[in-house]
Chains A and B, each alone.
Chain A
Amino acid sequence: MVRLYTDDLSIGYGERTIIKELSVQIPDQKITTIIGSNGCGKSTLLKAITRVIPYQSGAVVLDGKIVAKENTKLLAKKMAILPQAPENASGLTVGELVSYGRFPYQTGFGRLSTKDYEVIDWALKVTGTSEFKYLPVDSLSGGQRQRVWIAMALAQETEIIFLDEPTTYLDMAHQLEVLELLQKLNREEKRTIVMVLHDLNQAARFADYIIALKSGNVVKAGTCEEVITKQVLRDVFQIDAEIGIDPRTKKPMCTTYNLLRGE
């Protein structure tokens, strides 16, 4: 059974509809990536699923319950969000920022329990940020900072983690570092990961399940082999792509492409 799915979900800002009657399923304990060209609604979809923005009709269902009607603190124990390029952390230390991830478990004046401290240390450790614990977040590099934000999401101890373009602004090595960390969390901790990615080949390399969107509609959803095909890429990105096999990961990859013209 799938824990999380959308049912005829329509999302829009004002009069403009961005996503219309979209139904997708998020497979459990897998890495799902949402791909699509600019403005196709992939970030919007992620935000609506995670209740950051409201939707117009339809429903997002988690464990048989409609997300919009659920207690938001309760949901925060089930799913965590890493928004796109979070703003600066206004002078907080790394430890403090990560401790904010414990908010859903706090009551009263928000004193941290022993358990909270353990989880914070664990989150810092798996993301490799323990050494920065007492440093201001703003003093870190982009890649380090991104890992700290992931640590905060991890401190929420949720089974599902959503990430909106977690590799933006990072150089190639740091991009891989972040994605490998997410893969490790998925394999070792059985976390369900849902992310929006820009890079097609990264999506193919790390995802178990890919949802390809175009103008708010699902063009194709399935495994990498099903989605990374000449036909789907033509429909989604208007490109004429050459599909090969990554010699190291044995996953399909787009080796080269041209723009489609005059069709």
Chain B
Amino acid sequence: MIPQELIKKQRIVMLVLIILVGITAVISAGIGFSTLSFERLLPTLFGYGTFKEEFVLFSIRLPRIIITFLAGMALALSGVILQGITRNDLADPGIIGINSGAGVAIALFFLFSPIDPGSFVYMLPIVAFSGALLTALLIYLLSYDRKVGLQPVRLVLVGIGFSMALSGLMILLISSAEREKVDFISKWLAGNIWGADWPFILALLPWLVILIPFTLYKANKLNLLGLSEPVAIGVGVAIEKERIILLLTAVALAASAVSVTGGIAFIGLMAPHIAKSLVGPRHQLFIPVALLIGGWLLLFADSVGRNVIEPNGIPAGVMVALIGAPYFMYLLMKK
């Protein structure tokens, strides 16, 4: 029933985005602190590079490109779901407190657990994930009303409240900590892609492989939830059940992403919104577009941020915020 010309338009938009992602990835692979010239990219990729070239490409650049792309997709999809179930264009995993939940968990873990350098990095995603999940559950419990069920608007408000309270807690924690520990935490908060290594890709990938098809499978229900609550109930959507399942999906996606990238907001806000304005509000069509836009945005932000100031660059989270904050303002003004 979806108009043919829209489907065609979506195909074209997808194609353009894939090309854009490809170009950005190639440029991102070719620029950086250590030189790896563009003409050496292909030979290195196929195993004809020097040891140094191979190290730069396979251990530094490539995992980082892949991880930013995947995390961007996860954040975008999380935003799609949150905006769908709250029927609010301003919902984003960062804005409703899931990022700060992960952040506080990381800070607590970092400050108070005995650190074993070997297993430490692999513990962090798990810690961040639990923090995000715990926060989401608390937000859910507090915005749930036994009589009327889950109120989307209340969910957003409670989430914003949580986000602020947790940020306050972070400041408290940081101000009482030692200097070098603070360094890492503040880098995490700024969204410095720190988990750019193959194991982290393997940790992130399964979530996407499962949850992208799962969300597409729920596309019709998301369409109906977006229309109006009584209409959705009338045609037989079990809205309470669907909201809980979808909320958990969104949290899992956001948590898995921020646990390796650090606190990154706005991707989940911008990607679905841009996608909707390109191909319309049908979830079947705009979810794939939003995924590519989200992945590209984070990849782009990180590639730029990494190279603007030598030697450490600007964290991706800050770069994204530089683009995202004005966009957020624009959305607010338009409302």
- The residues of A with any CB-CB pair to B shorter than 8 Å are 13-14, 47, 50-54, 72-77, 80-83, 86-87, 89-93, 95-96, 99-101, 103-104, 106, 108-110, 112, 120, 134, 153, 156
Q: Taking the nearest CB of chain A, how far is it from the CB of B317, in angstroms?
A: 32
B2 touches A96 (CB 8 A): yes
* Chain A hits for B234, CB < 8 A: 50, 52, 76, 80-83, 153, 156
A72 touches B227 (CB 8 A): no
User: What are 22 A-B contacts defined by CB distance under 8 Å?
Assistant: A13-B147, A50-B234, A52-B229, A72-B233, A72-B236, A72-B238, A75-B236, A76-B235, A80-B234, A83-B228, A83-B230, A87-B227, A90-B227, A90-B281, A96-B2, A100-B227, A101-B235, A103-B220, A103-B224, A103-B236, A108-B217, A134-B3
- A54/B236 contact (C-beta < 8 A), A83-B231, A103-B220, A109-B217 known: no
B134 within 8 A of A: no
Of residues 196 through 239 on chain B, the ones whose CB sits less than 8 Å from some CB of chain A are: 216-217, 219-220, 223-224, 226-231, 233-238
* Chain A hits for B149, CB < 8 A: 54
B22 within 8 A of A: no
Q: Which of B3, B227, B229 contacts A89 (CB 8 A)?
A: B227
* Chain B hits for A86, CB < 8 A: 227-228, 230-231
State the CA gap A82–B228 with chains docked (Å): 11
Among A89, A90, A156, the most chain B Cβ lie within 10 Å of the Cβ of A90
A100 touches B226 (CB 8 A): no
* Chain A hits for B235, CB < 8 A: 76, 80, 100-101, 103-104, 156
Chain B residue nearest in CB terms to A87: B228
* Chain B hits for A92, CB < 8 A: 281-282
B332 within 8 A of A: no
State the CA gap A74–B149 with chains docked (Å): 21
A104 touches B217 (CB 8 A): no
Q: Taking the nearest CB of chain B, how far is it from the CB of A256, in angstroms?
A: 36
| Binary A-proximity of B225-255 (CB < 8 A = 1, otherwise 0) | 0111111011111100000000000000000
B236 touches A77 (CB 8 A): yes
- A95/B1 contact (C-beta < 8 A), A73-B236, A86-B231, A89-B227 known: yes
State the CA gap A77–B228 with chains docked (Å): 19
B280 touches A54 (CB 8 A): no
State the CA gap A72–B230 with chains docked (Å): 12
* Chain B hits for A82, CB < 8 A: 234
* Chain B hits for A74, CB < 8 A: 236
- Which 3 pairs from chain A and chain B are nearest by CB? A76-B236, A81-B234, A73-B236
State the CA gap A91–B9 with chains docked (Å): 15
Q: Taking the nearest CB of chain A, how far is it from the CB of B234, in angstroms?
A: 4
Chain A residue nearest in CB terms to B4: A134
- A110/B220 contact (C-beta < 8 A), A74-B236, A81-B234, A83-B228 known: yes
Q: Which of A51, A76, A89, A99 contacts B1 (CB 8 A)?
A: A99
* Chain B hits for A110, CB < 8 A: 219-220
B148 within 8 A of A: yes
State the CA gap A83–B231 with chains docked (Å): 7
* Chain B hits for A153, CB < 8 A: 234
State the CA gap A100–B2 with chains docked (Å): 11
State the CA gap A101–B236 with chains docked (Å): 9
Among A47, A80, A83, A108, the most chain B Cβ lie within 10 Å of the Cβ of A83
A91 touches B237 (CB 8 A): no
Chain A residue nearest in CB terms to B220: A110
B220 touches A93 (CB 8 A): no
B148 touches A54 (CB 8 A): yes
* Chain B hits for A75, CB < 8 A: 236
Q: Which of B2, B147, B217, B237 contacts A103 (CB 8 A)?
A: B237
| Binary A-proximity of B145-168 (CB < 8 A = 1, otherwise 0) | 001110000000000000000000
Q: Taking the nearest CB of chain B, how far is it from the CB of A245, in angstroms?
A: 37
A106 touches B220 (CB 8 A): yes
12 new A-B pairs (CB below 8 Å) besides A72-B237, A103-B224?
A13-B147, A47-B230, A52-B234, A73-B236, A86-B231, A87-B227, A87-B228, A90-B281, A95-B1, A108-B217, A110-B220, A153-B234
Chain B residue nearest in CB terms to A155: B235
Chain A residue nearest in CB terms to B280: A91
* Chain B hits for A109, CB < 8 A: 216-217, 219-220
B230 touches A52 (CB 8 A): yes
State the CA gap A112–B229 with chains docked (Å): 23
Q: Taking the nearest CB of chain B, how far is it from the CB of A209, in angstroms?
A: 22
Of residues 247 through 280 on chain B, the ones whose CB sits less than 8 Å from some CB of chain A are: 280
Of residues 286 through 311 on chain B, the ones whose CB sits less than 8 Å from some CB of chain A are: none
Q: Which of B216, B223, B280 contacts A100 (CB 8 A)?
A: B223
* Chain B hits for A53, CB < 8 A: 148
Chain A residue nearest in CB terms to B241: A72
* Chain A hits for B217, CB < 8 A: 108-109
State the CA gap A134–B3 with chains docked (Å): 8
Among B219, B229, B236, B282, the most chain A Cβ lie within 10 Å of the Cβ of B236
* Chain B hits for A80, CB < 8 A: 234-235
